C-alpha cells in the first residue's frame, strides 16, 4: 500500500484493495452500530497512519503539561471517551501523556460538580469554563483520565499555565476522583 499523509487522503484513496476494505469496514460498522460509523472509520485511519510512531514528536507535535489538545482516543467501550475529542494534558513522560478528556456538552456542564454553583453535581465532572483558544465552555471527565501515546494527538488547541490556580484545582480534583478522597484524607491526617 502507498504511504498516505492524511486521514482524508487515506479514506479517499482509489487503490482497489483499499476501496474493497473500506466498503467492507463501513458495512460492518453500519450493521453493528448504525451511528458512530464516521468516528470509527476516522479512528481506524488515524491508527493506520500513526501506529508506528513512538511519540507525537516524530510527527512534529510537541505537547506539554497544560496543553489542550484534539486527539484520537480510538474505539471505546460504554462510558469511556472514544474517537476524536479534546483533552487536557496533565503530564508528559517518555512520549506518553497523562490526559483528562473534556467535552463542551451543555448537559454535562450543567450537571458537573462546582463547590459554589452546583455542590450537588456529579463529582467526576469538573467545569472548566471557556478557556482561551476554545469556542465553548468545557467540562473534564476526571474519571476517564489515561496515559496515551502522544502520537494520538492531532493538534494542540490551547494552553493552560501549569502555575495557574485552575491547573492546580484540576490536579487536586483529579487526585480526589482517582483515589475517592481516601488516600488524600489519610495523608492529611499523618
DSSP string, 5-54: SSHHHHHT---HHHHHHHHHHHHHHHHHHSS-HHHHHHHHHHHHHHTT-S
188, pLDDT greater than 60: no
Give the model's pLDDT for residue 36.
Answer: 65
Q: In terms of Cα–Cα distance, which of 92, 90, 122 is closest to 108?
A: 122
Residue 113 and residue 109: Cα distance in Å, rounded?
Answer: 9
- Contact, 147 vs 96, CB < 8 A? yes
Average pLDDT, the chain: 87
49, pLDDT greater than 50: yes
Give the model's pLDDT for residue 18.
Answer: 74
Q: What pLDDT, in 10s, does the model give residues 163-182? A: 999 999 999 999 999 887 55
CA 105 to chain CA centroid, Å, is 14
Q: When comparing pLDDT for 27 and 174, which is higher?
A: 174
Give the residue-averaged pLDDT of 78-103: 94
pTM for this model (two decimals): 0.84
- Helix (H) or strand (E) holding 88, with range, is strand 84-93
Confidence of residue 76 (pLDDT cuts 50, 70, 90): confident
Give the model's pLDDT for residue 30.
Answer: 78
Burial category of 16 from C-beta neighbours within 10 Å (exposed 0-12, middle 13-18, buried 19 and up): exposed
Return the C-alpha cell found at 15: 487503490
Give the model's pLDDT for residue 182.
Answer: 56
Give the model's pLDDT for residue 181.
Answer: 57
141, pLDDT greater than 80: yes
DSSP string, 108-153: HHHHEEBTTTBTTSEEEEEEEE--TT-SS-EEEEGGG-EEEEGGGE
68, pLDDT greater than 70: yes
The backbone torsions φ and ψ at residue 5, rounded to the nearest 5 degrees and listed phi first, read -90, -25
Q: What pLDDT, in 10s, does the model give residues 114-129? A: 999 999 999 999 999 9
The backbone torsions φ and ψ at residue 94, rounded to the nearest 5 degrees and listed phi first, read 50, 45
Residue 145 and residue 104: Cα distance in Å, rounded?
Answer: 17
**What domains appear along the chain, each with residue ranges and CATH number?**
1-52 (no CATH), 56-189 (2.30.30.110)
Amino acid at each position: 500500500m502507498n504511504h498516505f499523509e492524511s486521514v482524508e487522503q487515506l479514506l479517499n484513496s482509489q487503490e482497489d484493495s483499499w476501496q474493497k476494505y473500506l466498503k467492507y469496514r463501513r458495512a460492518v460498522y453500519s450493521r453493528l452500530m448504525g451511528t458512530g460509523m464516521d468516528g470509527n472509520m476516522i479512528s481506524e485511519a488515524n491508527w493506520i497512519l500513526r501506529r508506528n510512531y513512538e511519540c507525537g514528536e516524530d510527527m512534529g507535535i510537541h505537547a506539554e503539561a497544560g496543553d489542550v489538545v484534539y486527539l484520537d482516543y480510538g474505539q471505546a467501550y460504554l462510558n469511556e471517551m472514544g474517537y476524536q475529542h479534546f483533552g487536557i494534558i496533565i503530564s508528559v513522560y517518555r512520549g506518553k501523556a497523562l490526559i483528562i478528556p473534556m467535552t463542551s456538552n451543555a448537559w454535562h456542564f450543567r450537571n458537573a460538580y462546582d463547590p459554589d454553583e452546583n455542590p450537588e453535581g456529579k463529582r467526576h465532572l469538573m467545569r472548566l469554563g471557556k478557556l482561551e483558544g476554545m469556542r465553548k465552555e468545557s467540562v473534564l471527565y476526571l474519571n476517564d483520565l489515561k496515559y496515551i501515546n502522544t502520537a494520538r494527538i492531532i493538534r494542540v488547541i490551547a494552553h493552560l499555565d501549569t502555575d495557574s490556580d485552575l491547573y492546580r484545582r484540576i490536579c487536586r480534583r483529579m487526585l480526589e476522583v482517582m483515589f475517592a478522597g481516601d488516600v488524600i484524607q489519610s495523608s492529611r491526617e499523618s
